[in-house]
Structure 1
Amino acid sequence: MSHITISYHYVDCNRKFEHYDANRSFFQEYYATRLAAEPGISCHVLDIGCGHGTNPTISRIQHVLGEVDGVDPFPVVQPHPLIRQRWTCAMEEIPVPSNTYDLAYSYNVVEHVVNETSFLAKTIEVLKPGGVYWSMSPNARHPFTVIVRIMQALGIKYLYRRSIAPQANDYPAYYRLCNATKVLKAIEKLDLPVSKIDFFLIPSVQWDTFFPRRLRFIAHLIDRVVVLNAPSMSNIFMFRMEKMDTGPRDGAAT
């Protein structure tokens, strides 16, 4: 791992609950802003887990997007109009050549990845040298992920979705790429050609929407007493992974 530059960023931390309550979409805006600042965003882009409808990330950065392809394991009747080509398969099975994309990103996807090493290996493989992958997901250290795991272990997630939070997804969450330690271990295991990785932790109180309205005080209490005082437990986890640049880019002089 000595060849990788590793950085940690704690964004918008150490504020009161009321600040985060009044700025609930900040993490989405921050993610979109960072994506929009990437040079590769206007080139060949891969949306990993492009989903069924309008990805909130695409909506915010569509003015700078280049050619966008998408991959998602679930079929869809009407793909997002900005997706040029869409593959219905897992990321590990995407049928594209190595060194295809300048930029790849995912929005609330990596928490559902079963095999973290094969996922990252394929993501790095399809990036061009110097290409970048951005991920946003829940933080594996946040209480929300603990609650989800307990519900899955008890087999009651379906009942929870049906009676309390229909916005919750109905497929398992593993959180194997949702903290820095696990991401670095996956990279090290296969000695992936990563030159730089940045980790970002951003507080958010939006998880209270997964509680019944009359019980949201529980989430607020946990935030006020514990989470907002411990930046490493922040609700949102992002990372930016840059593929090692081993030579001239396409079209560059040699």
Structure 2
Amino acid sequence: MELSTTPKVEPDQVRCAIRFRSGEWRATIFRDLVVNEIRRAGHTASVLDIGCGHGFDGDKELQDQIGREACQFIGVEPDPDIEVNGRFGVVHRHILEESPIRAESIDVAYATMVLEHLSRPAVFFDTVERILRPGGVFWGFTVDRRHYFCAGSRFLESIQLKDAYLNWFGGRRGVERYENYPTYYRCNSPSQLAGLTRKFSSVSVFSLSRPGQIQSYVPRPFRPLINVLDWITDLCELPGHVLVLRCQK
């Protein structure tokens, strides 16, 4: 397996970094990566959205745009309380590992803000590798474990205050804010992914960064501190908040 992180800079990585740095929202950048992959796969592509509830990174229109590119659009959404887009031809109401998806039946699979919630990432990646056709591609968009945001999230969860904080700051779970499922961050850095993705023929991992990218997660009085941390991150060329993964079978 060829594992590429930042030393070998790919064109996709450069374009994504420029767009994200300029202030573009991450979801449209992710959408373009997936759509371009589907177009490379051809007009008969079977596409799998893992964690498909609430749209693509929370946007149903972007999910529709991806679905229009697919010959077969399949969704996986284990939460029975979440409504799923009618664009999908098939929806499995299980976690991926328990979904009845045939081996070597998927051309392009992707997961947006799902990987941080995996308690058994080895089983997940084995399943992804099994269901992809030869040459098939998986895109993962998640939180970079090396960023200070992850440390803050893990700390709040460890002292059992994460739910209370999000309810106070963001509103009711699943109504005014996203559902915060348990996080594990077990496949959220290049070093973790290296061991989990060995079955793939090639793997590339890169981080996206820009100052102010997590301002919306903190109350206004604490934002000057975030500015300082972002300045240090930039100065030291540390990884950003968003981790992007591409695995090809």
TM-score tier after normalising by the smaller chain length:
0.7 to 0.9
Residues 191-202 of structure 1 correspond to what in structure 2 (within 5 A)?
192=199, 194-202=200-208
| Number of residue pairs aligned between Structure 1 and Structure 2 | 231
Residue 175 of structure 1, CA deviation: 1.2
Q: Which residue is 2:33 aligned to?
A: 34
Indicate the larger mover: 93-102 or 40-49: 40-49
* TM-superposed deviation, 1:7: 4.5
Amino acid of the residue matched to residue 244 of structure 2? M
- 1:216 aligns with 223
Q: 2:121 matched to 1:116?
A: yes
Give the Cα separation in 1 of the matches to 2:194 and 2:155. Answer: 26
1:140 and 2:145 correspond: yes
Identity, % of aligned positions: 23
Shift of 1:232: 4.0
Q: Which has the higher contact order (CA 8 A, sep 6+)?
A: 1
Structure 1: how far apart are the matches of 2:15 and 2:104? 35
5-14 vs 202-211, which moves further: 5-14
C-alpha separation in 1, matches of 2:53 and 2:82: 11
Which consecutive residues of structure 2, in runs of 5 or more, have no partner in the other structure? 172-176
Q: Of 58, 64, 68, which aligns to 2:69?
A: 64
Q: Report what 1:173 is aligned to.
A: 183
1:131 corresponding residue in structure 2:
136
CA distance in 2 between counterparts of 1:155 and 1:122 reads 31
Question: CA 1:207 to 1:98, structure 2 compared with 1: closer, same or farther past 3 Å?
Answer: same
Cα displacement (A) at 1:115: 0.7
The counterpart of 2:51, out of the listed 45, 49, 58, is 49
Note the C-alpha offset of 1:227. Answer: 1.6
Q: Which amino acid aligns with 1:101?
A: I
Structure 1: 5+ residue stretches without partners: 244-254
Q: Could you tell me how far apart the structure 1 residues matched to 2:74 and 2:5 are?
A: 29
SS at match of 2:201: strand
What letter corresponds to residue 229 of structure 2 in structure 1? I
User: In 2, Cα distance between the equivalents of 1:149 and 1:108?
Assistant: 16
Deviation at 1:13, TM superposition (A): 9.7
8 A contact 1:46–1:101 mirrored in 2: yes
What is the distance in 1 between the residues matched to 2:133 and 2:92? Answer: 19
Change over 3 Å in CA distance of 1:13–1:240 after alignment to 2: closer
How far the C-alpha of 1:206 sits from its partner, in A, is 2.5
Distance 1:60 1:211, change over 3 A: farther
